[in-house]
Chains A and B, each alone.
Chain A
Amino acid sequence: MKLKSYFGRLIFLIVVIAIAIWAVKTKTPTLGLDLKGGVHIVLECIDTEQVKATPELVESTKAVIEKRVNALGISEAIVQREGGLNSKRIIIDIPGQRNLKLEDIEKLIGKTALLQFKLEDGTVILTGANLKDVRVQLNTDPAKKGQAVIAFELDSEGTQKFAQATKENIDKHIAIYLDEELLMNPVVKSEIPDGKGVIEGDFTIDQASQYVALLKGGSLPLKVNILSSEIIGPSLGEDMIAMSIKAAILAFVLVVLYMTVYYRLMGFLASVALLIFVLIDLAVLILLNATFSLPAIGGFVLTLGMAVDANVIIFERIKEEIRSGKTLKTGISLGFNKAFRTVLDSNITTLSGALAIIYFGIGLIKGFGVTLTIGILISFFSAIFTTRLLLDIFSITPLAKNGKIFGY
């Protein structure tokens, strides 16, 4: 008997630890903006009198922004829509990059002008969303040779609308507005049925290029508003990481010291279980791709303190059993069984709080809720499996004969 009966569990634990070590060593954790620096911007598409922010238009607005960000050559940038289908929010996350000027990114996104083509009576016929291509061309008309014109091409929906609008408005103006400001006010000379048109004017090539840039850059289908923005310099985050690691190590050392002083050898066993807990917890967080931000690390450190709770409950029970005259082996078994329900109930209630944080928490608090939740789940495993195994193995060693190790 003895050690043999624990082999299965021991091997399982060793395999889990091995996987955890592999995960911690090989995978890189996802760091939050506050730790690696970068830009986080939340935009909201807004309804204007002419254009309603429908889900489709929000989607195409997102696509335009994505294109612009990618044009800067930022491969890691993430542009996504927030939340559900009807959400009008767009989130832009750009991780900190030293070779990138933060203002450039902000300007690029900040200049989210709304482009509209309006008839003389004010009705909007096209928005920037319909614009497929804009470029500078030289006038082919022999009378105006060499003059710059702006050539544009529309998408199929735009082509149709524009064809009708030009047909009905010959010799009238179709104005182009950027952010409600008049950019150009060309006169319609003929019907444009194929969606390919040119805007003539007394432009120099430079002026024409500027207009083209504005038309291209301003071709957001919807007006957007910056709801919140956060910019953190990349080197600032590094200090935070260093501090967080220090905090985690200090917390671990303090908890281990306290447990060992108070519960002696049992406390030492709990510390070993805590070390295994830290390893598995980290591995699970990394494997689940959880984002490590400052509050998340706060949650992690907090679970360091709470993870020993189940151990404390179990030890106190075992001590009680032994005090009432039971042998160590029965004491462990009885103490464990009695403590189990308490540990389960207390964990489930704590979990409900942590889940509420995740479900309703916005942004950074969410990370805190996630680490707290995972921490609670792993600490439960740690208590009913690791600590139990360590205690069982410990109970067959000669050390177990010494009553003092229980710390009373």
Chain B
Amino acid sequence: MRLFNIENLQIIPKRKIYFSISLIFILVSIVAIVFNYFTIKSPLNYGLDFTGGTILDLKFEKTPTVSDARDVLKEFGYGSSVIQVSQDGRLIIRINQKNLSADEREKIFTKLEEKFGKLDRENLRLSSIGPTISNELKRAGIIALLVGLTFIFIYITLRFQFRFAVVTILALIHDTIITVGLLALIRQQVNSPFIGALLAIIAYSVQDSVVVLDRVRENLKILKDKYSYDEIINKSIQQSFTRSVNTSLTTLLAIIAILIFGGSTIRDFSFTLLFGITAGTYSSIFIAAPLLVVWNNLSKHKFEETKKEFKGVEEASKVQVATNPVKISQNKPKNKKKKKGGKR
């Protein structure tokens, strides 16, 4: 089954188009974040986990109305709380920054019960988070992101090349900015699972990039004398394209399953993943590998000059490739030792 002919896929020659697409997304993301900063005083619509506060998720005999509920909360000085009535008739109240005491809560419940009938106590959810914890969450999230990125960077540098590590991290930053930006744009509420989602996206995206880059590494060895750097990269993308798309699709299918059945908490989480994994797939194909070409072009002058000096040697080896390719692969000293060791 083939949707289109992959051999015609010309990603490297058209890389400027793909870079532009990403740039537009990144710009929109930054604008959204900055805009939020000025309008709602924070880059993202932080949920309870990050702001601290109390959430009451209650079920009464009668379905409450938002305005009636607000009247009750006004009496307690929480008139500006976020109040919603869910589809199944639950009353959801979010009080920011304030950690309600048990007594205070009970008083509010009693008042609400006067209006909407008995509160179903087996079927409620309350959570309150103080500012200490929410600040810690933010800090731990940032540390986790940085440590994760550093580890990935070191591993790729050791196993591949420095420049592979740089383009992978750039692709990851690309994915993170776009995911955060889209969430900022639609003002999706973010809670602590958001950090988990971001890390999962990074983990996923790096996996995607590594598969493409692994192919590049292999092809650089095998095809070095037959094709230009650009062509090798393009070929590598072609070869891993089907895999990238298939894996992303199966993963997205799983995420869609969570979106359909997952319940509200986990739905926000899978929503973030949906964005991020799409961006991650895009970046590994259209950004990470093409960036290698950009890097190579920037350092090309030096590279070309050295190449000229050794032109005689290069020519000689080309002949050899044609006659006896097995031999050449054996006496090529350029291969790094690490690669040999890691291969088998």
Which of A's residues lie within 8 Å of B, judged by CB? 34, 42, 44, 98, 101-103, 106-107, 110, 225-236, 239-240, 243-244, 246-248, 250-251, 254-255, 258-259, 261-262, 294-295, 297-299, 301-302, 304-306, 308-309, 312-313, 316, 320, 338, 341-342, 345-357, 359-365, 368-369, 372, 407-408
Contact = CB atoms under 8 A, between A and B. Distances in A.
A364 B120 contact: no
Interface of B: 1-2, 99, 101-103, 106, 120-130, 132-133, 136-137, 140-141, 143-145, 147-148, 151-152, 155-156, 159, 192-193, 195-196, 199-200, 202-204, 206-208, 210-211, 214-215, 218, 239-240, 242-243, 246-247, 249-258, 260-263, 265-266, 269-270, 273, 342-343
Nearest to A368: B196
B156 A349 contact: yes
Nearest to A255: B250
B148 A353 contact: yes
Contacts of B155: 348-349, 352
Which of A233, A234, A298 has the most chain B CB within a 10 Å cutoff? A298
A294 to B, nearest CB: 5
A302 B119 CA distance: 36
B184 to A, nearest CB: 21
A407 B242 CA distance: 13
Contacts of A354: 199-200, 203
Interface SS of B by simple majority: helix
Nearest to B142: A360
Contacts of B144: 356-357, 359-361
B121 A353 contact: no
B279 to A, nearest CB: 15
13 contacts: A106-B102, A110-B102, A226-B99, A228-B133, A254-B253, A258-B249, A294-B266, A302-B255, A305-B247, A312-B247, A352-B151, A353-B200, A357-B200
A352 to B, nearest CB: 4
Contacts of A305: 247, 250-255
Nearest to B196: A365
A302 B251 contact: yes
A346 B269 contact: no
Interface SS of A by simple majority: helix
- What 9 pairs across the A-B complex have the smallest Cβ distances? A353-B203, A305-B254, A305-B251, A360-B144, A356-B148, A251-B257, A247-B261, A250-B257, A365-B196
A368 to B, nearest CB: 5
B199 A356 contact: yes
A110 B200 contact: no
Contact of B262 (A107, A225, A247, A346): A247
Which of B123, B136, B196, B262 has the most chain A CB within a 10 Å cutoff? B196
A248 to B, nearest CB: 7
A261 B1 CA distance: 8
Contacts of A261: 1
Contact of A308 (B214, B250, B265): B250
A231 B262 contact: no
A104 B148 CA distance: 43
Contacts of B263: 239-240, 243-244, 294
A305 B208 CA distance: 13
A333 B123 CA distance: 56
B270 A298 contact: yes
A268 to B, nearest CB: 14
Nearest to A105: B102
B179 to A, nearest CB: 14
A341 B213 CA distance: 12
A251 B123 contact: no
A84 to B, nearest CB: 14
B260 A110 contact: no
A1 to B, nearest CB: 24
B132 A227 contact: yes
A312 B199 contact: no
Nearest to B273: A302
A305 B247 CA distance: 7
Contacts of B265: 34, 294
A102 B121 contact: yes
B147 A360 contact: yes
A337 B214 CA distance: 14
Contacts of A294: 262-263, 265-266
Given A259-B250, A294-B263, A352-B155, A365 B195 contact: yes
A232 B215 contact: no
Nearest to B156: A349
